[in-house]
Structure 1
Amino acid sequence: MTKRAESKYKIDRRMGENIWGRPKSPVNRREYGPGQHGQRRKGKLSDYGVQLRAKQKLRFYYGNISEKQFRAIYDEAIRMKGDSGANMIGLLERRLDAVVYRSKFVPTVFAARQFVNHGHVKVNGRRVNIPSYRVKIGDVIEVKEKSKQLAIVIESQALPERDVPDYIEVDGGTLTAKLARVPTITDVPYAVQMEPHLVVEYYSR
């Protein structure tokens, strides 16, 4: 379970953006940051500040991944061939909790981490309870039979505000999903602009 699920609404206001695109985001009501100093006029960010903000926004988006885990993903991305920022996005989207969220089995990425942790998900017929598990192309992810009638699953299927991206094939009847390909950043349905190249710049300072 995420360390700071209770703070996810503050994250939107701290970033100044509705990063998950939720209709109930507090940014839709109050554009200033949380806390007693939230309404102070904000100064212009330095280059470092812009890079840090981009890194925090991407890290928060995937359920507030720990800094250690996020740095490990960056380290792996720069060892791969091709664009390091694009590689980061590909690795993040292959996390099991991200695939469960994208497949609309649960309503939020925070719920996806908890859902996987509690053993409601199988990969290729075997129960996997590690949210950071790396899904491979062709892997079949399914909701356990006993978990298909959970209220959170039924409610998520009916959510109108987001669609399943085309790099994941979902069977809504059996609640199974398959990663068809590793997405590029333009494939990923972020609610706000993500800038992985700035994340690479931040870590490569």
Structure 2
Amino acid sequence: MSKRHSTKHKIDRRLGENLWGRPKSPLNARAYGPGQHGQRRKGKTSDYGLQLRAKQKLKGYYGSITEKAFRRLYTEANRVKGDTGENLIGLLESRLDAIIYRAKFVPTVFAARQFVSHGHILVNGKRVNIPSYQVKVGDKIEIRERSKQLGIVLEAVQLAERDVPEYIETDHSKMTATFVRVPALSDVPYPVQMEPNLVVEFYSR
């Protein structure tokens, strides 16, 4: 399992955006990059730089996805019919950890990965502990009975800073969720603008 050693929100300051739209982001207090040169005015970014930044934003948003795993998702998105950028978003949002986060069972994408890894989740009645597990449309996800009263779950359900998107049906009284459909980019409630088309250009170079 990959482990993120740096502080989660450092990526906010490095990219200059509140990636998850959270009130605790350091960017809310210091809207400039980290380090002694963080406040310098930046020059014009090259096309490659824009593409790299778009990839870093999208990859970073989903937590601890490794470069190898992210490239594998891109390869799969490029292999199937349709728009590669839209396909990539659909694959990312079909990950079990992403759905756990979207369903508001946990407060952060990092917590979602850990929650799944620790065996708290059932998919169609069977325990799944692989965060990258690809959920299929119609699959039922639920929190194991003994895990429903965990503080992290009760806290997340009450969070007012985000809503459950329409492509996931959630019953917080039973702690269950159903993956209704694979979303398009316009369906996903990203707090910042994501540009999967630039990610496709990055990998197509």
Aligned length: 205
Shift of 1:26: 0.8
Aligned to 2:140: 140
What is the correspondence of 1:26-105 to structure 2 with a 5 Å cutoff? 26-105=26-105
Q: Distance in 2 between matches of 1:150 and 1:113?
A: 16
Aligned-residue sequence identity (percent) comes to 71
| Equivalent pair of 2:95/2:131 in contact (CA under 8 Å) | yes
CA RMSD after TM alignment: 1.0
Which segments of 5 or more consecutive residues in structure 1 lack a partner in the other structure?
none
| Equivalent pair of 1:4/1:64 in contact (CA under 8 Å) | yes
| Equivalent pair of 1:2/1:113 in contact (CA under 8 Å) | no
Matched residue type, 1:170: T
* DSSP 3-state at the match of 2:153: helix
Matched residue type, 1:78: N
| Equivalent pair of 1:167/1:183 in contact (CA under 8 Å) | yes
* DSSP 3-state at the match of 2:177: strand
| Equivalent pair of 2:119/2:129 in contact (CA under 8 Å) | yes
Matched residue type, 2:128: V
Q: Distance in 2 between matches of 1:137 and 1:153?
A: 24
Shift of 1:60: 0.2
Q: Distance in 2 between matches of 1:139 and 1:36?
A: 49
| Equivalent pair of 2:2/2:66 in contact (CA under 8 Å) | no
Shift of 1:6: 4.6
Structure 1 residues 154, 6: closer, same or farther in 2, change over 3 A? farther
Shift of 1:8: 1.2
Aligned to 2:109: 109
Aligned to 1:8: 8
Structure 1 residues 202, 185: closer, same or farther in 2, change over 3 A? same
Give every structure 1 segment of 4 or more consecutive aligned residues whose post-TM-superposition deviation is greater than 2 Å: none
Q: Distance in 1 between matches of 2:36 and 2:144?
A: 45
Aligned to 1:187: 187
